[in-house]
Amino acid sequence: MRLMGAASAALTAGSWRDAHAQDDTKAYPNRVIRLIVGFAAGGGNDVFARLVGQKLSELIGQSVVIENRPGAGGRLAAAYVAAQPADGYTLLVGAAGAMSVAPAIYPNLPYHPLRSFVPLTLIGSFPLVLTVAPSRDLKSVADLVAWAKANPDKANYATSAPGFTIATELLKLKTGMPGVAIPYKSSNEMVLSVISGQTLLTIADPPPTVPLVKGGQLRALAVTGAKRLAELPDVPSMAEAGLPDVNIGLWSGLFAPAGTPPPITQKLEDALRRAIQSPQVADKLKALGVEPGGIPSDELRHLIEADIKLTADVVKAANLTFEE
């Protein structure tokens, strides 16, 4: 009888815990949600987080706060969120550099983008822009490749992150052009180095690049991928330049720690997709040269898998190494 009583008590306790967990899931969210950004305030990912966070708060009726934890290209923030309780109250704004490039180049990451997290949705994506100085007599990608091959000792490029390096090395692999990487601390420094003549070219993100192209300080030769950038409608895509495989771009997405209950991740995915696709958010993303996301979780998972493979293939083919 005592054994039966103990078993009954254990069953009752287990049932209570299950019911309590279900109640928590149904009540979600009932407190503040944190969006963790792996970069300083004012940067692109911080801007994305604040746009989405404000609209998410409106949709779910709960406060959303942005917390900046910069360092190691977003990897510190990713490691932090991966170790948080899987309850839907701490989410990651994960950039491509930390979630698809880093896993392909750093063997000792303390997290994995798909095993440590549940991908929720894509905030937005954008191509990179290949630029040279207007003072150079280079009007196309073909001109640039020919010049670099004829002047290998002067062929160099500016980079400040593995994503930019990978894109440029992929261009080199597909064209056979030479080019030595010159490291800088930011994409702002990258484009300035091209303007000043310190480097031949750079492949950078749109925010620091587009205004300088429009102002005549830089000449854009192509944007990565198959589509032109709306902000630079006269600049051909790499596909139009005959290099469809040079298709590396950047993106930012939203992630929850692995183990977060499916009802909560589904609620988050639905609300976040609505937020990103709303005119209030989508129009502001487009103004930044960003293609709004809002894709289903499974599509973001497939994007990450494809990006990791592409990055790993380029790293191997170009025999690249990166310091952690």
Per-residue model confidence (pLDDT) at position 118 = 98
Per-residue model confidence (pLDDT) at position 322 = 85
**CA nearest 221: which of 119, 209, 76, 294?**
209
Q: Which domain holds residue 211?
A: 129-223
Look up the CATH number of the domain holding residue 200.
3.40.190.10
| Residue 4 in this model has a pLDDT that exceeds 80 | no
Do 208 and 271 fall into the same domain? no
**CA nearest 144: which of 201, 228, 188, 104?**
201
In contact, 221 and 141? CB cutoff 8 Å: yes
**CA nearest 250: which of 289, 200, 198?**
289
CA dist 219 and 137 (Å) reads 10
Look up the CATH number of the domain holding residue 42.
3.40.190.150
Percent of the chain with pLDDT over 70: 93
In contact, 94 and 18? CB cutoff 8 Å: no
In a domain, 242, yes or no: no
Edge-to-edge strand order for the sheet containing 156-159? 180-183, 156-159, 201-204, 129-132, 219-223
Q: Please work out, in degrees rounded to the nearest 5, the angle formed at the alpha carbon of residue 79 by the alpha carbons of 268 and 257.
A: 25
Do 217 and 135 fall into the same domain? yes
Specify the higher pLDDT residue, 254 or 187: 254
| Residue 29 in this model has a pLDDT that exceeds 70 | yes
**Mean pLDDT, residues 234-255 taken together:** 95
Per-residue model confidence (pLDDT) at position 125 = 93
Q: Dump pLDDT digits (tens) for 110-124.
A: 999 999 999 999 999
Tell me how crowded residue 279 is: count the other CB atoms within 10 A of its CB. 7
Per-residue model confidence (pLDDT) at position 207 = 83
**Mean pLDDT, residues 3-13 taken together:** 54
In a domain, 79, yes or no: yes
Q: Per-residue b/e over 61-81, b at no fewer than 16 CB within 10 Å?
A: ebebebebbbeebbbbbbbbb
Do 37 and 113 fall into the same domain? yes
What the block records as the tokens of 91 is 């989410």
Per-residue model confidence (pLDDT) at position 22 = 58
Per-residue pLDDT band for 16 (boundaries 50, 70, 90) equals very low
**Mean pLDDT, residues 39-62 taken together:** 92
Do 116 and 158 fall into the same domain? no
Edge-to-edge strand order for the sheet containing 33-37? 64-68, 33-37, 90-95, 250-257, 117-126, 291-292
In a domain, 229, yes or no: no
Do 72 and 116 fall into the same domain? yes
Q: Dump pLDDT digits (tens) for 132-155.
A: 999 999 999 999 999 999 999 999
Number of domains in the chain: 2
Do 76 and 117 fall into the same domain? yes
Per-residue model confidence (pLDDT) at position 161 = 85
Per-residue model confidence (pLDDT) at position 44 = 82
In angstroms, the Cα distances linking 287 to 125, 236, 281 are: 13, 19, 10
Specify the higher pLDDT residue, 288 or 54: 54
Per-residue model confidence (pLDDT) at position 324 = 72
Q: Average per-residue pLDDT in the chain?
A: 91
In a domain, 66, yes or no: yes
In a domain, 299, yes or no: yes
Per-residue pLDDT band for 14 (boundaries 50, 70, 90) equals low
Per-residue model confidence (pLDDT) at position 173 = 96
Tell me how crowded residue 117 is: count the other CB atoms within 10 A of its CB. 27
In a domain, 187, yes or no: yes
In angstroms, the Cα distances linking 131 to 135, 147, 169 are: 12, 14, 15
